[in-house]
Amino acid sequence: MPSELQEKVETLKGRYPDNIAIQCFDSVYFNTLSDDHKRRLQKCLNSGVENPDSEMGCYACQPSDFDDFKPFFSKVLARHHKVSENARHVNNWDLGSLEGLPADGKLDIAKLGLPPLSMRVRVGRNLREFALPGSMTQNDRIRLENRMMAVFDKLIAMPEFGGAYYSLTPGNPAFIDDNKYNELVDAHIMFKRMDTDRYLTAAGIAADWPFGRGCYVSEDREFIIWVGEEDHLRIMCMKRGTVLNEVFDRLKSALDLVESIEGMEFAYSDDYGVVTSCPTNLGTGMRASLHIALPNLTADGTDAKAKAIAKPLGLSVRGIGGEHTPIGVDGTLDISPSARFCITEAEILAALYKGIVLLKDAEQQIET
Ligand code: ARG
């Protein structure tokens, strides 16, 4: 007998051609699964079924989901990342292995005539030992936060990463009130409430808010770790400057350090690299971005023109307030390479540098 999920997905298939999870769901494959695996795969698809306007339409809920449900996820990944169904991911942070970059390896946008800009590199990471956020219990979320607090104690003692942890968990020694929370959100340090995001809510990722949620911030406010957002950890470095390597290298050393601490085993897949909740982030989990004012390309008050030019360059454009936010009043946009999977970390950074060169040219051409 077909399950409730199968019936729902089959009725949505014709009406939502852009929902990747719904389009990749195969009843024949689903029927080969054990009851337990059926329940697990069903959970992954819940967000996309409840929100049929989703573009991706699924989230992994266990670190092994991408491997355990490979016949489904390989199709999803192929479709979103435009790779083959047997694609394998390789991680590599070494910029020296790339061609076409400045000889000294320094990706300095000042050499392109640009002023200091806000640069940011983030990665998603999950701990192998815990369910992914979509399947965590409230107790799991608190245990994970406590595990991280032991790591933060180590970071606090180090001059290069020292800072403070802020928790939203009632009863946590680092608990902060709403005022402090809002202040950190306004300063772009802490993440926004997740329970207003209908995709994350349907996925179970926003559940138990605000338990197990918090952020670590370095003294200089340029190194941040989010705890309990879409991935267990979002680790990022940001800075206003011109040398992209500065944020990239600092992030890499922070990651190596965190990963060397006992109990910090990150989740990896043999074929797919870094495991993240959302298949859009799989592989590197990395997003490298710059905030750049493009007044000519945004003269009509929208980002339509910038998007049209950026897309063939492999760049995504969004507002500076995060995903689904409008452009800044002065035409400031957040630009980042779209690829995360089957591309190396080094290639992502290089793509940002090369993309900025081309966007800047497009902006100047309008001027002349
Ligand atoms: N689940 C949403 C969708 O399928 C968002 C996916 C990408 N965004 C993200 N934050 N993972 O359209």
Residue that terminates a domain, selected from 203, 230, 257: 230
For atom 9 of ligand 1, the residue with the nearest CA is 278
Q: Is the pLDDT of residue 276 over 90?
A: yes
Is 128 domain-assigned?
Answer: no
Query: Please, which pLDDT band fits residue 322 given cuts at 50, 70 and 90?
Result: confident
| 139 and 213 share one domain | yes
Distance 59 CA to ligand 1 centre (A): 8
The fraction of the chain above a pLDDT of 90, given in percent, is 87
| 142 and 53 share one domain | no
Query: Please, which pLDDT band fits residue 263 given cuts at 50, 70 and 90?
Result: very high
For atom 4 of ligand 1, the residue with the nearest CA is 56
| 219 and 145 share one domain | yes
Q: What is the pLDDT of residue 329?
A: 80
Q: Is the CB of 316 under 6 A from ligand 1?
A: no
- The CATH number assigned to the domain holding 139 equals 3.30.590.10
| 137 and 75 share one domain | no
Q: What is the pLDDT of residue 217?
A: 98
Is 269 domain-assigned?
Answer: no
Is 306 domain-assigned?
Answer: no
Is 93 domain-assigned?
Answer: no
Q: Is the pLDDT of residue 367 over 80?
A: no
| 142 and 60 share one domain | no
- Please state the three-class secondary structure of the chain as a single string: CCCHHHHHHHHHHCCCCCCHHHHHCCHHHHHCCCHHHHHHHHHHHHHHHHCCCCCCCCCCCCCCHHHHCHHHHHHHHHHHHCCCCCCCCCCCCCHHHCCCCCCCCCCEHHHHCCCCEEEEEEEEECECCCCCHHHCCHHHHHHHHHHHHHHHHHHHCCCCCCEEEEECCCCCCCECCHHHHHHHHHCCCCCCCCCCCHHHHHHCCCCCCCCCCEEEEECCCCEEEEECCCCCEEEEEEEEECEHHHHHHHHHHHHHHHHHCCCCCECEECCCEECCCCCCCCECCEEEEEEEECCCCCCCCCCHHHHHHHHHHCEEEECCCCCCCCCCCCCEEEEEECCCCCCCHHHHHHHHHHHHHHHHHHHHHHHC
Q: Is the pLDDT of residue 28 over 80?
A: yes
Is 331 domain-assigned?
Answer: no
| 71 and 147 share one domain | no
Average pLDDT over residues 7-31: 96
Q: Is the CB of 331 under 6 A from ligand 1?
A: no
Q: What is the pLDDT of residue 280?
A: 98
For atom 11 of ligand 1, the residue with the nearest CA is 278
Distance 199 CA to ligand 1 centre (A): 7
Residue that terminates a domain, selected from 196, 230, 264: 230
Is 123 domain-assigned?
Answer: no
Is 235 domain-assigned?
Answer: no
Q: What is the pLDDT of residue 117?
A: 96
| 141 and 222 share one domain | yes
Q: What is the pLDDT of residues 44-101, one digit of tens each?
A: 999 999 999 999 999 999 999 999 999 999 999 999 999 999 999 999 999 998 988 9
Residue that terminates a domain, selected from 206, 230, 254: 230
| 137 and 217 share one domain | yes
Q: Is the pLDDT of residue 183 over 60?
A: yes
Q: Is the CB of 169 under 6 A from ligand 1?
A: no
Q: What is the pLDDT of residue 2?
A: 62
| 153 and 72 share one domain | no
Q: Is the pLDDT of residue 324 over 90?
A: no
Is 319 domain-assigned?
Answer: no
| 70 and 147 share one domain | no
- The CATH number assigned to the domain holding 23 equals 1.10.135.10
| 75 and 138 share one domain | no
Range of the domain at 9: 2-81
Q: Is the CB of 278 under 6 A from ligand 1?
A: yes
Q: What is the pLDDT of residue 325?
A: 84
Ligand 1 atom nearest to 59, measured from its CA: 1
Q: What is the pLDDT of residues 115-174, one digit of tens each?
A: 999 999 999 999 999 999 999 999 999 999 999 999 999 999 999 999 999 999 999 999
Q: What is the pLDDT of residue 49?
A: 97
Average pLDDT of the chain? 95
Domain count, the chain: 2
Distance 288 CA to ligand 1 centre (A): 17
| 61 and 137 share one domain | no
Q: Is the CB of 336 under 6 A from ligand 1?
A: no
Q: Is the pLDDT of residue 1 over 60?
A: no
Ligand 1 atom nearest to 48, measured from its CA: 4
